[in-house]
Structure 1
């Protein structure tokens, strides 16, 4: 599911038709079929989004360092833990590990994970993910099969990496791959998984589409992120045209948006329309 969904209208319509008429419970098999066939992967951009690279390099003021603060360090944990749901071919997972995070890529498609494991073990990645901090070195990398909304992947990821223990979560094209009916569950799960001092990074895409065009990728203007993450787990009202109805309400699970900007660099498909939002729990 993961990287960018850069496709002309013909390919976008082909992708939409592939999912048309299938219930949310049938999404897993539909994604797996695309990965298994391997000849139509319009979301795959061949590498991580430049916006994420720039965030990891330049915005430590927001996201902190990949190493646990010495005052909080323990014998069992030195690095922060990062989760990439809908990891696709694994570009973002390898990038986060190169910055020093212990990174887990999660996907519901076994075929996708077969592809990303082969990629991670191939000569193709030589020089693409260099160690950013020689003193810290690379973090561990795991690719795990599982449903983001369930705990069926917890043991493989390591039990203490599950609910409430993720220091960084990155969402790019994961939410846009989900039917809108799953957005309350998405926001609730993000709030549950994120550590007390953790950071959620959302690269908001596609912000430019009218909701009437359907998906995937489903239209995601910034207000969708703001309304759902302000009230995780709650059903949010939409108008007749499919646009979210804005409200100032929050709930006890709310995540607070601490930064929001348009990145200088991103994949071509999102230039001029992508946004970055950074979130944390309300203290």
Structure 2
């Protein structure tokens, strides 16, 4: 009698992504979502550091309702690239933003819509201000670096149209060679200062950057160098650590960091073995 066929164990995220270097990474992420409806990075809930930022940093980022030059009020538009299951999108909508979640994988978009259907209007994402209400939720499939998904939205959105962009596990998921393009793309999507704010939950700062990813280890200096010099090549040493030149002037189109702090709360993966929070939150604007 022949031995029964053994199921092939799923590949790790780094092993899968390693098969699709550089700009082919999208195919790798789609493969992960297609083979694993509950990917290992999915925590099922928004990071509490984002919730605290929206609650405690209104003096910096404002609220979800704004007034235009004519005195008309409108809901701000928030974007979450690489939104996963969409939990952060639904949190932003609960604060009153019209929230847009972007994913390349059709399976991920399906997961987003299930999350919205099951929990989007319940206790998991309660409306934070009854007067402000809940914003609209839109999930769209597309490539962050291309404009097709913007046109697909059909809402008259063009360049520099998002009042808030949130990056948590997107930057660290990209091949390091794509970091200049990541920074440049934010300058194309973020609304002018002071209306537009990019919120980065910097992670994983405590991972050795020489180890394989994703997630790839990142320092606050890497965020600073790339966002201050979008589209430009940044120097790294042989161990994957960003070389920061204090004498190098920011580029004219570079973003400016307007706030930076250690959050009181974050997911467990953002803490070291002693429970100390290693993540940082930074807020950026157009210069």
Q: CA deviation at 1:73?
A: 4.4
Q: Which runs of 5+ in 2 are unaligned?
A: 1-8, 272-276
Q: Is the 8 A contact 1:104 1:157 kept in 2?
A: no
Partners of 2:33 and 2:107 within 8 A in 1? yes
In the alignment, which of 114, 121, 128 is matched to residue 118 of structure 1?
A: 114
Q: Distance in 1 between matches of 2:154 and 2:135?
A: 15
Does the alignment pair 1:194 with 2:190?
yes
* Alpha-carbon displacement from aligned partner over 1:31-72 (angstroms, at most 9, x marks no partner): 112112225511100110000000111110111111012655
How many correspondences in the alignment? Answer: 269
- Change in CA separation of 1:70 and 1:163 when aligned onto 2, cut-off 3 Å: closer
1:81–1:161 CA contact under 8 A, matched in 2: no
Over the aligned positions, Cα root-mean-square deviation in angstroms equals 1.8
Q: What residue is the counterpart of 2:14 in the other structure?
A: 16
Q: Note if 1:235 corresponds to 2:240.
A: no
Partner residue in 2 for 1:258: 258
Q: Secondary structure in 1 aligned to 2:216?
A: coil
Largest Rg, 1 or 2: 2
Aligned mates of 1:32, 1:152 — CA distance in 2: 18
Q: When you count helix as a share of all residues, which structure comes out higher?
A: 1
Contact residue 164 and residue 193 of structure 1 kept, 8 A = yes
Question: Any idea what SS the aligned residue of 1:160 has?
Answer: coil
In structure 2, do the counterparts of structure 1 residues 47 and 203 end up closer, same or farther at CA, with 3 Å as the change threshold? Answer: same
Q: In 2, are the aligned partners of 1:16 and 1:216 still within 8 Å (CA)?
A: yes
| CA offset digits 1:7-43 (Å, max 9, x no partner) | xxxx9x9221122242223211211121122255111
Q: How much does 1:173 deviate?
A: 0.5
The runs of 5 or more residues in structure 1 that have no matched partner are 1-10
TM-score normalised by L of structure 2: 0.89
- Alignment TM-score, normalising by the size of structure 1: 0.90
Shift of 1:156: 2.6
Are residues 1:279 and 2:284 paired? Answer: yes
Question: Quick check: 1:209–1:219 contact (8 Å CA) kept in 2?
Answer: yes
Question: SS at 1:68's partner residue?
Answer: strand
C-alpha separation in 2, matches of 1:83 and 1:167 = 8
Counterpart position of 1:46: 44
